[in-house]
Chain A
Amino acid sequence: MSANLPVTRSGEADYDIPIYDSAQRRIPVIAEVQELYRYRNLLFQMIARNIKTRYKRSVLGILWTLLNPLLMMMVLTFAFSELLRFSTRNYATYVLAGLVLWNFFSQTTSGAMSELIWGGSLMNRIYLPRAVFAATALGTSLVNLLLSLIPLFIIMLVTGVPIRPAILFLPVPILLTAMFAMGVALFLSRLAVYFADVLEMYQIVLMAWMYLTPIIYPKEVVTGRFKVLLTLNPMYHLLETFRAPLYEGWFAGPKTLAAAATVAILTLAAGWWFFARKADELAYRI
Chain B
Amino acid sequence: MSDPGLANDRDAMIWLENVTVEYRVPREPIRTFKEYAIRLLKGGIKHEEFSALRGVSFNVRRGEVFGIVGHNGAGKSTLLKVISRVLKPTHGRVVVRGRVAPLLELGAGFHPELSGRENIFLNGALLGYTRAEMAALFDDIVDFAELEDFIDAPLRTYSTGMGARLGFAVATAARPDVLLVDEVLSVGDERFQEKCAARMTEFRQSGTTVLLVTHDTRLVLGMCDRALWLDHGALGLVGAVDDVVEAYHEAGHREHRHTSRRVPASTPPKTSAKAPAKSSAKVQTPDSTPMAEFSHLEALALETTWFYPFDLPSGRQTLCQLPPAVARIHDTRWQMLAATLEELYGSDWTKLSCLDLGCNQGYFALQLARRGCQRVVGVDAYAAHVRDADLLRRTWELANLRFHHLDLLKISAKDFEQFDVVLMFGLMYQLENPIGALRIAKSLAKRAVIVETQLAPDLTGKINWGAHNTFKPLEGSFAILDRSDEVDSPFGSLTPISLCPGREGLIWTMRKLGFARVEERPLPTDAYEQFISGKRIMLAAYL
Chain A positions within 8 Å of B, measured between CB atoms, are: 1, 3-11, 13, 17-23, 38-39, 41-42, 44-46, 48-49, 52-53, 56-57, 121-128, 191, 194-198, 201, 280, 283-284
Return the 4 tightest CB-CB contacts between A and B, nearest first: A127-B85, A45-B125, A197-B32, A42-B125
Jot down 10 A-B pairs with beta carbons below 8 A, ordered by A: A7-B6, A8-B7, A18-B98, A20-B95, A22-B94, A39-B125, A49-B118, A49-B122, A53-B111, A126-B104
Pair B105/A195 contact, Cβ less than 8 Å: no
Pair A126/B84 contact, Cβ less than 8 Å: yes
Chain B residues near A283 (CB-CB < 8 A): 81, 86-87
> In the complex, A20 Cα to B15 Cα: how many Å?
10
Chain B residues near A197 (CB-CB < 8 A): 31-34
**A125 closest partner in B (C-beta):** B104
Q: Does B3 contact A (CB under 8 A)?
A: yes
Pair A3/B6 contact, Cβ less than 8 Å: no
With A125-B105, A195-B33 already in contact, the answer to whether A10 and B7 are too (CB < 8 A) is: yes
Chain B residues near A11 (CB-CB < 8 A): 4, 6-7, 95
Chain A: minimal CB distance from B30 (Å): 8
> In the complex, A6 Cα to B88 Cα: how many Å?
27
> In the complex, A48 Cα to B123 Cα: how many Å?
13
Interface centre among A39, A126, A198, A283 (most CB of B within 10 A): A126
Q: Does B56 contact A (CB under 8 A)?
A: no
Chain B residues near A18 (CB-CB < 8 A): 97-99
> In the complex, A122 Cα to B108 Cα: how many Å?
7
With A11-B7, A18-B98, A197-B32 already in contact, the answer to whether A127 and B108 are too (CB < 8 A) is: no
Q: Does B128 contact A (CB under 8 A)?
A: yes
Chain B: minimal CB distance from A198 (Å): 6
Main secondary structure of the interface of A (DSSP, over half): mixed
Chain A: minimal CB distance from B24 (Å): 8
Pair A21/B108 contact, Cβ less than 8 Å: no
Chain A residues near B129 (CB-CB < 8 A): 41
Chain B residues near A19 (CB-CB < 8 A): 6, 95-98
**B31 closest partner in A (C-beta):** A196
Chain B: minimal CB distance from A7 (Å): 6
Produce 1/0 per residue, B104-118, CB < 8 A to A.
110011010110001
Pair A124/B81 contact, Cβ less than 8 Å: yes
Q: Does B10 contact A (CB under 8 A)?
A: yes
With A7-B7, A49-B114, A126-B126 already in contact, the answer to whether A41 and B131 are too (CB < 8 A) is: yes
Interface centre among A13, A56, A201, A284 (most CB of B within 10 A): A284
Q: Does B89 contact A (CB under 8 A)?
A: yes
Q: Does B410 contact A (CB under 8 A)?
A: no
> In the complex, A17 Cα to B208 Cα: how many Å?
13
Q: Does B93 contact A (CB under 8 A)?
A: yes
Chain B: minimal CB distance from A132 (Å): 10
> In the complex, A49 Cα to B31 Cα: how many Å?
30
Across the interface, A126 reaches (CB within 8 A) one of B33, B86, B113, namely B86
Pair B93/A21 contact, Cβ less than 8 Å: yes
Q: Does B483 contact A (CB under 8 A)?
A: no
**A38 closest partner in B (C-beta):** B128
Produce 1/0 per residue, B303-330, CB < 8 A to A.
0000000000000000000000000000
> In the complex, A154 Cα to B85 Cα: how many Å?
50
Interface centre among B62, B95, B97, B125 (most CB of A within 10 A): B125
With A6-B10, A8-B7 already in contact, the answer to whether A13 and B97 are too (CB < 8 A) is: yes
Chain A: minimal CB distance from B113 (Å): 5
Pair B102/A22 contact, Cβ less than 8 Å: no
Pair A284/B23 contact, Cβ less than 8 Å: yes
Q: Does B491 contact A (CB under 8 A)?
A: no
> In the complex, A41 Cα to B30 Cα: how many Å?
36
Pair A17/B111 contact, Cβ less than 8 Å: no
Chain B residues near A53 (CB-CB < 8 A): 111, 113-114
Chain A: minimal CB distance from B383 (Å): 15
**A280 closest partner in B (C-beta):** B88
Q: Does B177 contact A (CB under 8 A)?
A: yes
Pair A125/B94 contact, Cβ less than 8 Å: no
Chain B residues near A8 (CB-CB < 8 A): 7
Pair B114/A126 contact, Cβ less than 8 Å: no
Across the interface, B122 reaches (CB within 8 A) one of A3, A7, A46, A195, namely A46
Pair B10/A9 contact, Cβ less than 8 Å: no
Chain A residues near B127 (CB-CB < 8 A): 126
Chain A residues near B6 (CB-CB < 8 A): 7, 11, 19
Chain A: minimal CB distance from B529 (Å): 47
Across the interface, A22 reaches (CB within 8 A) one of B8, B23, B95, namely B95
Chain A residues near B62 (CB-CB < 8 A): 3
**B109 closest partner in A (C-beta):** A122
Residues 1-24 of B at the A interface (beta carbon under 8 Å): 3-4, 6-8, 10-11, 23
Pair B94/A122 contact, Cβ less than 8 Å: no
> In the complex, A196 Cα to B121 Cα: how many Å?
31
Chain A residues near B36 (CB-CB < 8 A): 194-195
Chain A: minimal CB distance from B130 (Å): 5
Q: Does B207 contact A (CB under 8 A)?
A: yes
Chain A: minimal CB distance from B17 (Å): 9
Across the interface, B114 reaches (CB within 8 A) one of A44, A52, A284, namely A52
Chain A residues near B34 (CB-CB < 8 A): 197
**A200 closest partner in B (C-beta):** B32
> In the complex, A115 Cα to B61 Cα: how many Å?
37
Chain A residues near B10 (CB-CB < 8 A): 3-7
Chain A residues near B31 (CB-CB < 8 A): 195-197
Chain A residues near B82 (CB-CB < 8 A): 22
Chain A: minimal CB distance from B125 (Å): 4
**A197 closest partner in B (C-beta):** B32
Pair A125/B128 contact, Cβ less than 8 Å: no
Pair B102/A49 contact, Cβ less than 8 Å: no
Chain B residues near A46 (CB-CB < 8 A): 122, 125
Additional pairs, 8, CB under 8 Å, beyond known A22-B93, A45-B121, A197-B34: A13-B97, A19-B6, A41-B131, A48-B122, A126-B84, A195-B33, A196-B32, A280-B88
> In the complex, A52 Cα to B512 Cα: how many Å?
46
With A7-B6, A22-B89 already in contact, the answer to whether A52 and B118 are too (CB < 8 A) is: yes
Chain B residues near A13 (CB-CB < 8 A): 97
Across the interface, B84 reaches (CB within 8 A) one of A44, A57, A127, A194, namely A127
Pair A191/B207 contact, Cβ less than 8 Å: no
Pair A123/B114 contact, Cβ less than 8 Å: no
